[in-house]
Amino acid sequence: MKGFLKGFIFQVMMLFAILTFISVTCQASQDAPETPPKGVPAATNPPVGPPGSPEKPASKIEEMGYGDYKGVIHAHSYLSHDSWGTPARVIQAAKTAGIDFILMTDHPSPYSVNHGLKGFHGGILFLPGAEITRDGGNFLGLDLKENVAAKDRQGVIDETHAQGGIAALSHLEDFPDFNIERFDGMEIYNTHYDAILDGKIDKTIALVPLLSKDPDRVWLSILDKPTYYLKIWDEILKKQRATGFAANDSHENVIYNGYQLDTYERSYGLVSTHLFLMELNEAGVLDAFKKGHAYVCFDVFGACRGFSLTATDGKTVAIMGDEFTLDPKTPSKLDVSVPDDAKIQLLKDGAVIQETTGKTLSIDLKEKGVYRVEAYKSKGKKNLQWIFSNPIYVR
């Protein structure tokens, strides 16, 4: 009986700790601090590299003339009700993290789209947008001209397209179903979902005393492979094209004991979405996103520039996002390259068909399907998620 009571009391104490942590987080999301919180780094602002730098191509895809540009998608500022990040803070953090572009997605308000950051600021390209919730579904309207007024999920997609913008699915865990059409992409990782909804809050709370000494350890304690998101993505890819990207879901609003846990620098430095562009501009970003010329990099485990996924028959070359026509009379190959030793997995229609450890993987391409890559860095007995590519569609 004593053992039962001790166990019950421990469970009650843990539940109280979790509720307290969430309550503090929610309160922090609503009220700007009176004094600057600890943990926000001083401005360093190293310059963002110009288009095409460094000069030497780092991958097969760059040898084709593309630049590998690192970006943040799903970002909030003071124009959202749950963030107070000023444009200066956003720009400062982006420069420090070496970001080339940010697709802003503030919560809708009279000012969130038409007063949002747009164009180049500090060498970084900004496109305004919004995070939109309808009928239990969450969307990102990217490169919007005005707020989306549609009342249902399909209407959000269609109205976003009517503005010339991109419609993407966000917070997949909230969708009651996916009976919608014509969306352009979807999150395959979301920082907020990873932090709050995957059962890791108790572990993070236990690390709170380390905040002042090792804040990155606290931050990384939330990190998990987005298995649920990837499963949904693979199912959707069997029916339609959909560009997969990482959602930083950055707010800079979680303060604990006066310490800023989720600085923009930390959020932007955790994960990014890379696009292959001929030129860094609005049209180039939108085109590359729609085509799926993209991959997700967990930068916290190592820089990813140099990654490539290509298919070729010796005459034509397809990169991630492209459709490649298989000719049974012409030998074809699929090649993967990563910039550092890793466990490389090649997936076809959502299932692993080839795995190796090293920097390259190649197969003779003989079957139609949707081919994508996952790469993992080894740390002791753990495999840390590093790169998730968009697929090549072999027809």
Residues 315 and 266 in one domain: no
pTM of the predicted model as reported, rounded to 2 decimal places = 0.88
Residues 257 and 328 in one domain: no
Residues 348 and 277 in one domain: no
Average pLDDT, the chain: 89
Band of residue 206 on the pLDDT scale cut at 50, 70, 90: confident
Token representation of residue 18: 């979790």
Residues 286 and 330 in one domain: no
Domains identified in the chain, total number? 3
For residue range 212-256, list pLDDT tens digits in order: 778 777 778 888 999 999 999 999 999 999 999 999 999 999 887
> Does the residue 35 lie in any domain?
no
Residues 116 and 202 in one domain: yes
What sign does the dihedral 76-79-84-89 (CA atoms) show? positive
Residues 294 and 367 in one domain: no
Band of residue 27 on the pLDDT scale cut at 50, 70, 90: very low
From 300, 328, 344, the end of a domain falls on: 300
- Local structure of 2: helix, strand or coil: helix
Residues 104 and 241 in one domain: yes
The pLDDT > 90 percentage for the chain reads 74
Which residues neighbour 334 within 8 Å (Cβ) at sequence distance 6 or greater?
309, 310, 311, 346, 362, 363, 365, 371, 392
d(CA 79, CA 127): 14
Residues 73 and 216 in one domain: yes
> Does the residue 249 lie in any domain?
yes
Residues 293 and 319 in one domain: no
For residue range 87-134, list pLDDT tens digits in order: 999 999 999 999 999 999 999 999 999 999 999 999 999 999 999 999
Residues 276 and 320 in one domain: no
C-alpha 258: how far from its chain's center? 28
> Does the residue 43 lie in any domain?
no
CATH number at residue 142: 3.20.20.140
Residues 129 and 253 in one domain: yes
For residue range 293-332, list pLDDT tens digits in order: 999 999 999 999 999 999 999 999 999 999 999 999 999 9
Q: Which long-range contacts (CB under 8 A, 24 or more apart) does 61-64 make?
A: 61/276, 61/308, 61/310, 61/319, 62/308, 64/317, 64/319
> Does the residue 327 lie in any domain?
yes
For residue range 128-156, list pLDDT tens digits in order: 999 999 999 999 999 999 999 999 999 99
CA distances from 33 to 84, 109, 218, 257, 345 (A): 9, 22, 21, 12, 45
> Does the residue 305 lie in any domain?
no
CATH number at residue 327: 2.60.40.10
Q: Provide the domain limits for residue 358.
A: 310-394
Residues 248 and 345 in one domain: no
For residue range 244-288, list pLDDT tens digits in order: 999 999 999 988 778 888 899 999 999 999 999 999 999 999 999
Work out the burial of residue 326: count CB atoms within 10 Å of its CB; fewer than 13 is exposed, 13-18 middle, 19 or more buried.
Answer: middle
> Does the residue 44 lie in any domain?
no
> Does the residue 39 lie in any domain?
no
